[in-house]
DNA sequence: TTGACTGGTGTACGGCGTACACCCTACCGT
DNA sequence: ACGGTAGGGTGTACGCCGTACACCAGTCAA
């Protein structure tokens, strides 16, 4: 891996190759399998060699986030602000979904990276270019929260249902007794397969767009009526 | 610590005391300082003793979450569904804010705990009791997402500004050049102290309620017009 | 009395991030 | 041609983590 074929020198490491290999490794083996040691091994190098290109693991993760951010396409041109923002966010979602670990890592970063700041800046720019006030835009960004990254913090994933149908029935009966409302809405709608918890067996994309539109429609309404933050009004 | 005064036997551990001590330790020293070893020391006991009361660290964290959930008061009676949900969520927010580490831990749990399920069940129950359809309630819960826990995933906290005013000015100038829109909205509104990033120097409570109301108002509107999920409509 | 059960102990293992001293090589100015 | 220097890969070691496993001291039921 990464050695010249016969006896020659290894092609030297650099920050970019480290980051891209880290992303690939996380894609393949999961983020929890990504350690400085495993990454070093992947690169055919001793663990401490990585520290010549990356200050520490935190910065490695920051760098990985920026790699993903780099995969988000450019903003669409010529649409209204609402559609433009909507499309951008859905594009971001698509990028993030390609790397199942990415949303967790994005969330875990304690501060912004250059890449994330750039992305946020461009989304904000779309709002402002659409004529929204800086004030309203500010609140809109907060309201969107992590949704600008194309994901929602799910409340809880359903545990995988037991494969013994008898056990499964018992679990469901138990749940229905203890958490009747949860079961009621989890089984509501045709699209739901079984007694999964909120966030379990539903169409995530639908839920995402539902919430996104709820927020964008609300912002649009406020914008049209010239809303301004009468602090605590 | 937790020993009978003179030479007597130690009052025996139990799951509840372990969990409460863990919460107290996390409150005092931060969640990152909570390890099985430090918790054991706090209890005057050897680390492995904890495993007689808690299966592993994951389950410890689950238990801590349920302790916090237990601090949320009962739902208000007699209000309309919207105010009831709103108040409940704000109460949850107050509980979570008393333990700065709690939101991160709640997020990190891969599955629901009995306590969280119970809480979600009661929130859902409030929607349903208000006459909302199971369908709409389902989507509303998704749309609220982690906001039912009273927190928003901030996009990024602002790094603490340098205390050298000259450096600070330079940083701001640099930021304004590279991220003009971010700076524009960060400095919008009177209440913002300086060039902090989105999520930096604003009134978190205001932002939280703004977004919460945006969502609840949207749900209410859909409810009144008899909305139903014409899947992908 | 005995035997099981409960709960606290001691030791040890394998993993992690990373500090620190080292060394090899390529390239520089002379 | 040659010493100096700096960048990048190495080896060793430390201190933390979660936790498996064997053990042991009481208590209590049979």
CA distance to partner chain A, nearest, from residue B97 (Å) = 18
Please state, in angstroms and as integers, the Cα–Cα distance from residue A72 to each residue in A21, A131, A153, B155, following that order.
Answer: 19, 24, 20, 17
pLDDT band, very low/low/confident/very high, at B93 (cuts 50, 70, 90): very high
CB neighbours of B53 closer than 8 A, spacing ≥ 6? Answer: B13, B14, B15, B18
Q: What is the mean pLDDT of residues A53-68?
A: 98
CB neighbours of A107 closer than 8 A, spacing ≥ 6? Answer: A146, A153, B107, B153
pLDDT above 70 covers a percentage of chain B that reads: 88
Residue A223 contacts residue A136 (beta carbons within 8 Å): yes
Is the pLDDT score of B197 beyond 70?
no
The Cα–Cα gap between B98 and A193 comes to: 38
CB neighbours of A213 closer than 8 A, spacing ≥ 6? Answer: A86
Regarding the domain delimited by B1-54, which CATH topology (the fold level of the hierarchy) does it fall under? Arc Repressor Mutant, subunit A (1.10.10)
Convert the pLDDT of each residue in A73-116 to its tens digit: 999 888 899 999 999 999 999 999 999 999 999 999 999 999 99
How high is the pLDDT of residue B154? 73
Hey, are the CB atoms on A143 and B214 less than 8 Å from each other?
Answer: yes
pLDDT band, very low/low/confident/very high, at A174 (cuts 50, 70, 90): very high
Chains A and B form CB pairs within 8 A to the count of 202
- From B153, B202, B203, residue closest to A145, measured CB to CB: B153
How high is the pLDDT of residue A189? 58
Superfamily assignment of A15-54 in CATH?
Answer: Homeodomain-like (1.10.10.60)
Residue range(s) occupied by CATH 1.10.10.60 in chain B? 1-54
Q: What is the mean pLDDT of residues B162-184?
A: 90
B interface test, pick of A185, A186, A210, A217 with most B CB neighbours within 10 Å:
A185
Q: What is the mean pLDDT of residues B30-34?
A: 98
Dihedral (CA of B129, B133, B135, B139) sign: negative
CA distance to partner chain B, nearest, from residue A148 (Å) = 9
The Cα–Cα gap between B199 and B190 comes to: 15
Q: What is the mean pLDDT of residues A41-67?
A: 98
Which is more confidently placed, B197 or A63? A63
Which region among A205-214, B51-60, B224-233 has the lowest average model confidence (pLDDT)? B224-233
Is the pLDDT score of B131 beyond 50?
yes
How high is the pLDDT of residue A158? 75
Is the pLDDT score of B195 beyond 60?
no
The Cα–Cα gap between A190 and B117 comes to: 23
| Strand D contact set, beta carbon < 7 A | A 10, 12-14, 45-49, 52-53; B 34-38, 47-48, 51, 56-58
Chain A's closest residue to B222, CA to CA, is: A214
Is the pLDDT score of B198 beyond 90?
no
Chain B's closest residue to A117, CA to CA, is: B179
For residue A116, the tally of other CB atoms under 10 A from its CB is: 22
Is the pLDDT score of B199 beyond 50?
no
The Cα–Cα gap between A122 and A117 comes to: 9
The Cα–Cα gap between A175 and A154 comes to: 20
How high is the pLDDT of residue A229? 85
Distance in angstroms: CA A67, C1' D11: 32
Nucleotide nearest to B45 (CA to C1'): C8
Which region among A173-177, A209-213, B23-27 has the lowest average model confidence (pLDDT)? A173-177
How high is the pLDDT of residue B5? 38
How high is the pLDDT of residue A161? 76
Is the pLDDT score of B193 beyond 70?
no
Q: What is the mean pLDDT of residues B114-131?
A: 97
How high is the pLDDT of residue B55? 98
- Beta-bridge mates of residue A10: A3
Distance in angstroms: CA A54, C1' D11: 20
Hey, are the CB atoms on A137 and B185 less than 8 Å from each other?
Answer: yes
Please state, in angstroms and as integers, the Cα–Cα distance from residue A97 to each residue in A22, A205, A208, following that order.
Answer: 17, 11, 13
Convert the pLDDT of each residue in A177-233 to its tens digit: 999 999 999 887 545 444 444 545 689 999 999 999 999 999 999 999 999 987 544
Convert the pLDDT of each residue in A103-162 to its tens digit: 999 999 999 999 999 999 999 999 999 999 999 999 999 999 999 999 987 767 777 777
Hey, are the CB atoms on A134 and B184 less than 8 Å from each other?
Answer: yes
Structure tokens belonging to residue A191: 């699209």
Dihedral (CA of A30, A35, A36, A40) sign: negative
Q: What is the mean pLDDT of residues B104-130?
A: 96
Hey, are the CB atoms on A206 and B141 less than 8 Å from each other?
Answer: no
How high is the pLDDT of residue A193? 46
Residue A24 contacts residue A13 (beta carbons within 8 Å): no
How high is the pLDDT of residue B10? 65
- From A111, A142, A185, residue closest to B137, measured CB to CB: A185
Hey, are the CB atoms on A198 and B152 less than 8 Å from each other?
Answer: no
- Beta-bridge mates of residue A3: A10
């Amino acid at each position: 891996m990464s050695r010249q074929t016969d006896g020659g020198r290894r092609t030297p490491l650099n920050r970019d190759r480290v980051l891209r290999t880290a992303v690939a490794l996380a894609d393949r083996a999961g983020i929890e399998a990504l350690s400085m040691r495993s990454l070093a091994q992947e690169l055919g190098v001793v663990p401490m060699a990585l520290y010549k290109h990356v200050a520490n693991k935190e910065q490695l993760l920051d760098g990985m986030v920026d790699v993903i951010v780099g995969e988000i396409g450019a903003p669409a041109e010529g649409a209204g602000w609402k559609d433009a923002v909507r499309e951008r966010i859905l594009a971001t979602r698509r990028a993030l979904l390609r790397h199942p670990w990415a949303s967790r890592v994005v969330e875990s970063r304690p501060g912004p990276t250059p890449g994330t700041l750039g992305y946020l800046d461009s989304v904000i720019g779309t709002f402002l270019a659409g004529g929204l006030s800086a004030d309203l835009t500010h609140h809109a960004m907060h309201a969107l929260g992590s949704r600008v990254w194309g994901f929602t913090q799910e409340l809880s994933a359903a545990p995988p249902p037991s494969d013994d149908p008898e056990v499964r029935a018992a679990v469901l009966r138990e749940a229905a007794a203890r958490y009747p409302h949860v079961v009621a809405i989890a089984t509501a709608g045709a699209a739901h397969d079984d007694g999964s918890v909120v966030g379990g067996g539903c169409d995530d994309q639908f839920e995402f767009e539902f919430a996104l539109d709820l927020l964008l429609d609300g912002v649009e309404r406020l914008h049209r009526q010239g809303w301004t933050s009468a602090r605590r009004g």
